[in-house]
Amino acid sequence: MKKQSLLIFTLLITLLLASGCFSYAEENKSETAAAVTNTQDTVVNSEYDLRRCIDEAVKNSLDIQDLEMQKEEKDLEYDEAKYYRKQLSEGKDKIDEGDDTLEQLKALYANFAGLGDSTPIPNIEIISGGALSAGTTKADISDLIDEISDKINDNYYKVADTLTNAQVKELLGVKASTEIDVIKYAMEIAKTQIGLLIQNSFYETMKNEKIADIKKTTLARTKEQERIAEDAYKSGMKAKDDMLLSQIQESFAQIDLLNAQRLTNVSIYELKKNMNIDLTTDMKLKDDAKADIQNFNLDEGINSGMLNRVEIRKANAEILITKLNFEITKRYCPDYTFDYREAELKVKDAEINLKKVKLGIETDIRKSYENLQKIQEMLKYTQGLNDKANENVKIAKEKYQMGFDFPSANLKDLNLEEAAGTMIDVNAAEEKFSTVSEKLIELIYNYNQAKAKYMYDTGNSYWF
């Protein structure tokens, strides 16, 4: 049989669709531009504030990188489903076009009823619009009609089945899109949790560093007091036990300083580990923690958490995914099969999980609110404490340096009993001052950590 270009083209399109040989890779080829990397000299900045620490931690997080890879995979699944749906839609149009062409051939054949089967049809090129070549006979057209009809009939049901499966592909596309949203929610959750972790590590380090500074100041003061006691002993003005007590106090101050420095170094290593950076990186932390007490409303916080917490959106999306999966399963599995029952149970499990998430979020909000309120109340009692403790140290030292080691009857007669001061009094005042200063530092950083936790629990974007 002679080549019939239009009909053969239609047949090839039909066969291509029936076989399902769609090349996603070929369809989506894109030109790749050469990447140009500009190398610039950068000045190493060793100063890290909280914002920089969090940004680097997010950038270096292996969990975030893993979620980004998962998102790319789901993006591919979604694009594939979208592409497949598009091709099937176009394929159906081509089949309909082939059917139309076949009907035209049958109509053309009917016009040559008076011709013999082997007689060439006059002016067939003009009559067929160039689709059939000169010399084509009535028998040739009949054979061509039969051949193409058989091909279309054989493959139509295959294509029809594939088109039916397109509905499943549609569901899979929606499922992939929803799974992409779930991954995005997971990334948001991971970022905020990283932010909370880094802030805790950052403030823990800063707290230890400032306590170390207090210990350093305390050591300098005890050294000075030890010098005064030693000079007084050598001059015969004070007893030896005063000098020994001052030396003991200095040794304790030295031990406290070393311990504070140890805790600072350990905590900064923990911070670097949480940031996933080189542990030898030079870091100078820039502090911005303040005791800026604010008023928070519990009911508003709970409403905000239920509305804004990403975990709730994620749980709702997971319910949608299980429902879509159940719809797909119902297409192929009767209700008595294990697959059907398992898919149905997953929907119920996802709905229960949403209730658990909501309960957990409300519990977290109430706990963090209680924690925040109590620390705020504690801070109110610290106002002026540092100045009072410092003044107490000065008074104890002045009493000691005045030479009245202990109260006596003469001092009582002169109403100077309260002017007596001992080295024990001085040491006690120093310890109290150090304790007050440390407690104030702890409360300030605990407050900032509690506030960050409350903001996180109520779904407010504290860092991002």
- The sign of the torsion formed by the CA atoms of 438, 439, 443, 449 equals positive
The pLDDT value given to residue 6: 38
The pLDDT value given to residue 38: 42
CA distance 444 to 440: 6
The pLDDT value given to residue 171: 64
Residues β-bridged to residue 48: 285
Beta carbons within 8 Å of 96's beta carbon, 6+ residues apart: none
The pLDDT value given to residue 267: 95
The pLDDT value given to residue 157: 56
CA distance 230 to 243: 5
The pLDDT value given to residue 238: 73
Phi, psi dihedrals of residue 347, rounded to the nearest 5°: -65, -45
Q: Tell me the mean pLDDT per 10 residues along the chain, length 464.
A: 39 38 40 40 70 91 84 77 63 64 71 72 69 75 73 58 56 71 82 88 92 90 84 78 84 93 95 93 84 86 91 88 86 86 93 95 96 90 81 78 50 41 74 84 89 89 58
Q: Is 277 exposed, middle or buried (0-12, 13-18, 19+ CB in 10 A)?
A: middle
Alpha helices in 276-421 (DSSP H): 298-308, 310-332, 338-380, 385-402, 409-413
**Residue pLDDT, tens place only, 144-181:** 777 767 666 655 555 555 555 555 566 666 767 777 77
Predicted structure pTM score: 0.61
The single-letter DSSP state of residue 220 is: H
The pLDDT value given to residue 94: 63
C-beta separation of 411 from 447 below 8 A: no
Place of tokens 């680097």: 56
Phi, psi dihedrals of residue 400, rounded to the nearest 5°: -65, -40
- The sign of the torsion formed by the CA atoms of 90, 94, 100, 103 equals negative
Which tokens in the block code for residue 103? 């009907």
CB atoms within 10 A of CB 295: 6
Which tokens in the block code for residue 391? 């003044």
CA distance 230 to 302: 62
Phi, psi dihedrals of residue 445, rounded to the nearest 5°: -75, -35
Place of tokens 């504030």: 49
